[in-house]
Amino acid sequence: MKREIITISENTVIVTGGNIWMTEAEIVELFGTTAGAVHTGIKAIFKENTLNDYEVCKCIRLDSGNSADVYNMEVVVALASRLNTYPASVFRKWLVNTATAPRRTTPPIVIRYKDGLLN
């Protein structure tokens, strides 16, 4: 399974693609917190039925041959609101700015082809 992760570097959120699936260890690194805080937060999200584990969690085989649970963007967003760390704050601000940014429209490209036009 091809998957991308989110990183934060110098107060900038970097999303490598649209197929976000992250391990607990990657989420720990993203938010600069402990494994216990991430694990507890994920379990609380599932216990409260905020998200359903069968929709947002998969078990995959890593390159090392080990298996690990990975969580999608919905879990990362839910955890960001539960964690009180500086990177989690940076992520929340990025999320709000991204969600409320005006949509860019791309002007149409017109190509002249012999005596006609193509859109």
pLDDT tens figures, 61-110: 988 999 999 999 999 999 999 999 999 999 999 999 999 988 777 777 76
Contact 20, 6 (CB under 8 A): yes
The pLDDT tens digits of the residues spanning 38-67 come to: 999 999 999 999 999 999 999 999 889 999
Measured from the Cβ of residue 32, the count of other Cβ atoms closer than 10 Å reads 13
Q: What share of the chain is helix, strand, coil (3-state, %, to 5)?
A: 40, 25, 35
Match 């949509």 to its residue by tokens: 103
Sorted by where each begins, the domain ranges of the chain are: 6-118
Question: Which pTM was predicted?
Answer: 0.83
39 token code pair: 């694990």
Beta carbons of 40 and 27 less than 8 angstroms apart: no
